[in-house]
Amino acid sequence: MGNKSRPIYAPFKLDVTGRAHLIVTNLAEPPLELAEGFDDITVWTVKTIGRGIPAPAAPGLRPFRAVAELLPQLAVRLAQATVGLRLYAIGSEAFIWDAFNVAITAGLDKAEIFVHHAGPLVRRVYCTHCRTMIEDVAADITPCPACGAHLFVRDHFSRRLAAFMGVIVDAEVPGEVPAAEALTS
């Protein structure tokens, strides 16, 4: 039956019905080849060179210093969007679902938003005990930096929080924490 909360990602492709296309990504190398053959396409990327100086912009490329800079600008851009804009979020699961939530808040329809998971296999984890978000978790058990609980990273994904749920692993026998295993999906 499988886990119904876990997103399933289709292979990336541009929607030919769109009149304008905006790709946002947190990948180190922006996927510029995806834009070939399409008119009115823009790529926003979190990419820095050297000491935090944005890379020189190619036509249609807008670099940002951090995700925290890109997402608020995305909200502004989408608030001004016209019918026919398609948004493509490519990158880590946390990033693409953060972008998805910005787009929904701005009024885009789910059919106008495409998400594609790419990059390292890490998760954002939400501690269900103290509500702390833990970034870039690569194992199924992780300590919470805020409350100190050893968390089991469940395969339950919250699209609203853009995070997987972390629950205390040693609730029944305090101190009995199994060995962590690397995440495989």
Per-residue pLDDT reduced to its tens digit, 100-114: 999 999 999 999 999
Q: Helix, strand or coil for residue 13? A: coil
Q: Into how many domains does the chain fold?
A: 2
Residue 150: which domain range? Answer: 123-168
Same domain assignment for residues 113 and 50: yes
Same domain assignment for residues 113 and 38: yes
Same domain assignment for residues 25 and 103: yes
Considering the domain boundaries, does residue 70 fall inside one? yes
Same domain assignment for residues 134 and 94: no
Cα–Cα dist 152/140, whole Å: 6
Considering the domain boundaries, does residue 57 fall inside one? yes
What sign has the CA pseudo-torsion 25, 30, 34, 40?
Answer: positive
Considering the domain boundaries, does residue 11 fall inside one? no
pLDDT digits (tens, 9 = 90+) for 14-42: 898 999 999 999 987 766 676 666 778 88
pTM of the model: 0.83
Q: Amino acid letter at 128?
A: T
Same domain assignment for residues 38 and 94: yes
Considering the domain boundaries, does residue 4 fall inside one? no
Considering the domain boundaries, does residue 8 fall inside one? no
Considering the domain boundaries, does residue 180 fall inside one? no
Same domain assignment for residues 107 and 161: no
Residue 141 in this model has a pLDDT that exceeds 70: yes
Q: Amino acid letter at 6?
A: R
Considering the domain boundaries, does residue 42 fall inside one? yes
Average pLDDT on 42-66 reads 71
